[in-house]
Amino acid sequence: MFSFPNIAYFIPLLPLLGFLVNGLGRKHLSKGAIAWIGSGVLALAFAASLVVFLNLPSGGPTLLNAFDFIRIGELRIPFAFQLDALSSLFLLIITGIGFLIHVYSSAYMHEESAEHYGRYFAYLNLFIFSMLLLVMGANYVIMFIGWEGVGLCSYLLIGYWFRKPAYTQAANKAFVMNRVGDLAFLIAIFWLIARTGSVNFVDLPAALSSLSSSDITWITMLLFVGATGKSAQIPLYTWLPDAMAGPTPVSALIHAATMVTAGIYMIARSNLLYTAAPLTLNVIAVIGIATALLAASIAIRQNDIKKVLAYSTVSQLGFMFLAIGAGAYGAAVFHVMTHAFFKALLFLGSGSVIHAMSGEQDIRRMGGLKKVLPITYFTFLIGCIAIAGIPPFSGFFSKDAILLSAFLKSPILYGVALFTALLTAFYMFRMFFLTFGGTFRGTDEQKHHLHESPLAMTLPLMVLAVLSVIGGWVGIPELFLHGGERLIEFLSPVIPVVEGHAISHSTEYLLMGLSTGLVLSVIFFAWTRYRQYRSEESSAPFARLLENKWYVDELYQTAIVQPLHRFGGWLRSFFEPKIVDGLIQGVGRSIRYISQQIRLLQSGQTGNYALWMVISIVVILSIQFFVRK
Partner 1 sequence: MIALLLFLVPLIGGLLTFLPNKSGMARSLALGSALLSLAGVIAGLTLFKQPLYWEFDAEWLQTLGSRFSLKGDAMGMLMSLLTSIGVLLAVLGSWNNDVQGSNRFYGLLLWMQAGMMVVFLASDALLFYFGWELALIPAYFLCSIWGGEKRIAVTFKFFIYTFVGSVLMLIGLIYLQSLTPNHSFQMQAFRNLEIPESKQVWLFWLFFLAFAIKVPVFPFHTWQPDTYEQSPTTVTMLLSGVMVKMGLVAMIRWMLPILGIGVFIWSDVVICLSVIGILYASLIAIRQDDLKRLIAYSSIAHMGLTVAALFSLSGFSNNSNVVLQYHQVGFQGILLQLFSHGINILGMWLLADRIERRFGTRKLSELGGLARTAPTFTIFFLLIAFANIALPLTNAFPGEFLQFNALFHAQSPYRFVFLVLAGLGVILSAIYTLNMVRRIFFGETNQATENGLRLSTAECLALSLVVGLILVFGVYPQAVLDFTNDFSREYVKAIDITRFLAK
Angle formed by the axes of helices 278-300 and 394-409, nearest 10°: 130
Q: 200 forms bridges with which residues in the sheet?
A: 139
> Nearest-CA neighbor of 441 among 559, 571, 573, 532?
532
Q: Is residue 247 a contact point for partner 1 (CB under 8 A)? A: no
CB nearer partner 1, residue 478 or residue 576: 576
Pick one of 58, 59, 73, 448: the residue that binds partner 1 (CB under 8 A).
Answer: 73
Q: Is residue 559 a contact point for partner 1 (CB under 8 A)? A: no
In the bound complex, what is the minimum distance in angstroms from residue 266's beta carbon to partner 1? Answer: 15
> Nearest-CA neighbor of 299 among 437, 291, 245, 251?
291
Q: How many CA atoms lie within 13 A of 38 on its CB side?
A: 34
Pick one of 68, 392, 497, 559: the residue that binds partner 1 (CB under 8 A).
Answer: 68
For partner 1, the binding residues in 564-583 under the rule CB under 8 A are 564-565, 567-569, 571-572, 576, 580-581, 583
Determine the distance from the C-alpha atom of residue 82 to the mean position of all C-alpha atoms in its chain, rounded to a whole number. 22
- Type of residue at 118: G
The mark string for 78-117 relative to partner 1 (x by CB under 8 A, - otherwise) is -------------------------------------x--
In the bound complex, what is the minimum distance in angstroms from residue 571's beta carbon to partner 1? Answer: 5
From residue 462, how far is each of 80, 348, 383, 467 by CA, in Å?
A: 37, 11, 11, 9
Q: How many CA atoms lie within 13 A of 579 on its CB side?
A: 7
Q: 304 forms bridges with which residues in the sheet?
A: 362
Q: Is residue 246 a contact point for partner 1 (CB under 8 A)? A: no
Q: Is residue 17 a contact point for partner 1 (CB under 8 A)? A: no
Pick one of 588, 594, 602, 623: the residue that binds partner 1 (CB under 8 A).
Answer: 588
Pick one of 19, 117, 127, 144: the residue that binds partner 1 (CB under 8 A).
Answer: 144
Pick one of 2, 163, 536, 541: the residue that binds partner 1 (CB under 8 A).
Answer: 163
Q: Are 310 and 246 within 8 A, CB to CB?
A: no
Distance CA 387, CA 369 (A): 21
> Nearest-CA neighbor of 49 among 97, 10, 100?
10
Pick one of 5, 40, 168, 235: the residue that binds partner 1 (CB under 8 A).
Answer: 168
Q: Is residue 159 a contact point for partner 1 (CB under 8 A)? A: yes
Pick one of 47, 180, 545, 546: the residue that binds partner 1 (CB under 8 A).
Answer: 180
Determine the distance from the C-alpha atom of residue 418 to the mean position of all C-alpha atoms in its chain, rounded to a whole number. 24
Q: CB under 8 A: which stretch of 337-345, 445-453, 563-571, 604-612 binds partner 1?
A: 563-571
Distance CA 489, CA 134 (A): 23
Going by C-beta distance under 8 Å and a sequence separation of 6 or more, which residues neighbour residue 205? 272
Q: CB under 8 A: which stretch of 54-62, 149-157, 321-329, 434-442 binds partner 1?
A: 149-157
Q: What are phi and psi of 137, to 5 degrees?
A: -50, 140
In the bound complex, what is the minimum distance in angstroms from residue 72's beta carbon to partner 1? Answer: 5
CB nearer partner 1, residue 218 or residue 329: 218
Distance CA 312, CA 307 (A): 8
Element of type H or E holding 65? strand 62-72
Q: Is residue 67 a contact point for partner 1 (CB under 8 A)? A: yes
Pick one of 59, 165, 541, 604: the residue that binds partner 1 (CB under 8 A).
Answer: 165
Pick one of 4, 53, 191, 378: the residue that binds partner 1 (CB under 8 A).
Answer: 191
Distance CA 167, CA 172 (A): 9
Q: CB under 8 A: which stretch of 99-107, 137-145, 454-462, 525-533 binds partner 1?
A: 137-145
CB nearer partner 1, residue 153 or residue 340: 153
Q: Sign (positive/negative) of CA torsion 514, 515, 517, 521?
A: positive
Distance CA 531, CA 527 (A): 5
Q: Is residue 193 a contact point for partner 1 (CB under 8 A)? A: yes
Q: Under the rule (CB under 8 A), what is the footprint of partner 1?
A: 67-75, 115, 141, 144-145, 148-149, 152, 155, 159, 162-163, 165, 168-169, 171-172, 175-176, 179-180, 182-183, 186-187, 190-191, 193-194, 564-565, 567-569, 571-572, 576, 580-581, 583-584, 588
